[in-house]
Amino acid sequence: MTRDSIRWVEKLSALERENALLQSRLETCKTSFALLQAEVMGYQHLDEQACKQARDRLLEITAIAANTLLTAENFDDAINSVLAMIGEGLETDRVTVIEIFKPLSALLSQWQVLYEWTSPGTPAQMSNPDWIRGTFEGIEDLYDQFFEGQPVHRSTDIMTEPFQSVQAQLGVKELYAIPISVNGHLWGIVGVDDCRVTKQRSKAELSTLKITSDCIGSAIERQRNQQLLLQTEQQRVAELAQANEVLQARDRLLEATAIAANTLLSAPNFDDAVNTVLRLIGEALDTDRVKVLECMDSALLYPSYFAISHEWVREGVIPQLSHPSSSQISSDGAESFLHQLFQSDGFGGVLKEWPEVFWEAFEAVQAKAIYCVPIRLEGQIWGFLIFDDCRDVKQRDMSELSVLKIAANCIGSAIQQQRTQQALIKAEQAKQSAILEERNRMAGELHDTLAQSFTGISLQLEAAKPLLGESSPTLSSILNHLKDLADAGLEAARQSVWALYPATTDYADLAQLLYESLEVMSRNTATRIEVNVHGSPYALPIFVSMNLLRIGQEAITNALKHGQAQTITIDLTYEDDSQTGQGILLTICDDGCGFMPPIDPKAGNGGFGLVSMSERCNRIGAQLSITSALGEGTQVSIQAFLS
Note the pLDDT tens digit of each residue in 535-557. Answer: 888 888 777 888 888 888 888 88
For position 40, what pLDDT does the model report? Answer: 44
What's the pTM?
Answer: 0.43
Q: What is the pLDDT of residues 243-266, one digit of tens each?
A: 777 677 777 777 777 777 777 777
User: Which contiguous run of DSSP H or E holds residue 463?
Assistant: helix 450-468
Q: Which amino acid is at 58?
A: L
Q: Which residues contact 172 (CB under 8 A, 6 or more apart)?
A: 94, 156, 193, 194, 195
CATH 3.30.450.40 for domain 1-249:
yes
Q: How far apart are CA 119 and CA 121, in angstroms?
A: 6
User: Which contiguous run of DSSP H or E holds residue 532?
Assistant: strand 528-534
- CATH placement of domain 267-417: 3.30.450.40
SS3 call for 199: coil
Task: Determine contact, residues 273/264, Cβ cutoff 8 Å.
Answer: yes
Q: How far apart are CA 209 and CA 85, in angstroms?
A: 12
Q: How far apart are CA 308 and CA 328, in angstroms?
A: 7
Q: For residue 547, give the nearest of 634, 498, 610, 618 by alpha carbon.
A: 618
Q: How far apart are CA 188 and CA 100, in angstroms?
A: 5
Residue 499 pLDDT greater than 60, yes or no? no
Q: What is the pLDDT of residues 275-297, one digit of tens each?
A: 888 888 888 888 999 998 988 87
Mean pLDDT score, 4-9: 65
For 636, which DSSP code?
Answer: E
Mean pLDDT score, 577-606: 77
Domain boundaries, the chain: 1-249, 267-417, 449-501, 506-641
Q: Which amino acid is at 46?
A: L
Helices (H) and strands (E) in the chain, counts: 15, 17
What topology is assigned to 506-641 in CATH? Heat Shock Protein 90 (3.30.565)
For position 42, what pLDDT does the model report? Answer: 45
The reply to whether 267-417 shares the fold of 1-249 is yes
Q: DSSP string spanning 420-460?
A: HHHHHHHHHHHHHHHHHHHHHHHHHHHHHTHHHHHHHHHHH
Radius of gyration (C-alpha) of the chain in whole angstroms: 56
Q: How far apart are CA 538 and CA 418, in angstroms?
A: 27
Pairing mode of beta strands 567-577, 528-534: parallel
For position 195, what pLDDT does the model report? Answer: 93
Q: What is the pLDDT of residues 335-367, one digit of tens each?
A: 888 888 888 888 888 999 999 989 999 999 999
pLDDT-based confidence at 309, cuts 50/70/90? confident
Q: Compute CA distances 552 → 233, 472, 561, whole Å.
A: 66, 63, 14
CA atoms within 13 A on the CB side of 98: 27
Which of 327 and 476 is assigned the larger pLDDT?
327
Of 94-108, 159-173, 513-527, 611-625, least confident by mean pLDDT is 513-527
For position 43, what pLDDT does the model report? Answer: 39
